């Protein structure tokens, strides 16, 4: 299965605060927040949800097609992605804007406060995904310029290209009708537990009605693993990987999507897909930077077996050796 990935392509500026955000928040003053966090470290890494997901898919051997807009400062990043199996032929270069930038600060509880400057990403709205009809089997519509996300969804529907919805970071900028447009008819919907609740709140749908709008809803649950919902089926609960030593959370959700879509591309079950998603997410979580992890077949299979059993690991090993 050939996957095209849309969404942000960015440089990440990752900082760590040696305390807890919650200790600095005064419940009776939340309407007048004025805070500055003195951080201990700054790491500058390659990032952006689309590039992160494509990186993971490329590492797993799928040769994904990355779609988006970057600045003239992207040449080294492009080379990096190509070296890791990503097709960047549909990445366009802006003549006057820089590549997008993510700035995030993480506390000791792995909570994160972040800002995002879109830069060249705002030009994604001029891309026509209809041109990919017949060339790809699935388009993941990730967090990007909101107008581009809406346009991509309509283009996929019009051109009958199956798509996966991944609104994630852009939920705060979208109203209820826009969220409905982005999700209705999606083959897959990716979200975390908070995003699923916010989606229900914004759309006015019940949780069951949300599930009815998509083929498969995948909800990541942090340290509790993941849940898969489909209309007319019992939920599939997939436990988390044990023994995780987190370093920095940026990109863990993107890595989950990489693992999940890779397993689906190999024709494996939804349960196996979520298990591989969890395994790849852990590799990202234990690294500082969303594209700094490595996926070597033997240790990955060993960790998979320890978490989900030898039979499950054998299925993965048949495709990733």
Task: Give catalytic residues, as residue numbers.
Answer: 254
Residue in the block written with tokens 């346009």: 151
Tell me if 86 sits within 8 A of 66, measured CB to CB: yes
Q: How far is CA 169 from CA 102, 205, 206, 251, in A?
A: 11, 20, 21, 12
Gap between the Cα atoms of 149 and 291, Å rounded: 24
Gap between the Cα atoms of 238 and 221, Å rounded: 10
Gap between the Cα atoms of 310 and 316, Å rounded: 10
Tell me if 284 sits within 8 A of 254, measured CB to CB: yes
Gap between the Cα atoms of 143 and 9, Å rounded: 10
* Secondary structure E strands in the chain: 3-6, 10-16, 41-47, 65-70, 87-93, 100-106, 112-117, 138-141, 163-165, 188-192, 216-220, 226-229, 236-238
Helix 176-183 vs helix 146-159: crossing angle, to nearest 10: 40
Enter the tokens of residue 156.
């996929």
Q: Which segments of 67-217 does DSSP mark as H helices, in order?
A: 75-83, 146-159, 176-183, 193-203, 207-213
Q: How far is CA 140 from CA 99, 118, 129, 165, 183, in A?
A: 20, 19, 11, 6, 12
């Amino acid at each position: 299965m050939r996957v095209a990935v849309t969404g942000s392509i960015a440089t990440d500026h990752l900082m760590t605060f040696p305390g807890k955000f919650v200790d600095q928040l005064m419940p009776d003053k939340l309407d007048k927040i004025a805070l500055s966090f003195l951080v201990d470290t700054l790491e500058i890494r390659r990032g952006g949800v689309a590039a992160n997901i494509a990186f993971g898919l490329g590492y797993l051997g799928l040769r994904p097609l990355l779609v988006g807009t970057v600045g003239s400062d992207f040449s080294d990043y492009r080379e990096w992605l190509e070296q890791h199996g990503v097709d960047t032929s549909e990445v366009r270069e802006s003549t006057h804007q820089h590549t997008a930038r993510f700035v995030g600060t993480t506390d000791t509880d792995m909570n994160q406060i972040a800002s995002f400057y879109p830069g060249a990403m705002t030009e994604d709205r001029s891309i026509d995904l209809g041109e990919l009809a017949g060339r790809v089997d699935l388009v993941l519509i990730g967090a990007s310029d909101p107008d581009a996300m809406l346009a991509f969804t309509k283009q996929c529907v019009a051109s009958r290209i199956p798509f996966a919805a991944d609104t994630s970071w852009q939920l705060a900028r979208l109203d209820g009708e826009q969220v409905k447009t982005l999700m209705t008819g999606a083959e897959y919907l990716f979200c975390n537990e908070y995003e699923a609740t916010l989606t229900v709140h914004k759309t006015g749908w019940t949780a069951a009605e949300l599930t009815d709008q998509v083929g498969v809803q995948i909800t990541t649950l942090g340290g509790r693993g993941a849940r898969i919902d489909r209309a007319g089926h019992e939920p599939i609960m997939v436990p988390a990987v044990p023994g995780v030593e987190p370093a920095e959370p940026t990109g863990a959700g993107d890595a989950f999507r990489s693992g999940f879509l890779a397993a689906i591309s190999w024709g494996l079950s939804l349960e196996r897909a979520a298990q591989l998603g969890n395994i790849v997410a852990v590799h990202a979580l234990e690294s500082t930077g969303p594209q700094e992890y490595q996926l070597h077949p033997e240790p990955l299979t060993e960790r998979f077996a320890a978490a989900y059993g030898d039979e499950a690991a054998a299925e993965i090993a048949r495709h990733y050796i």
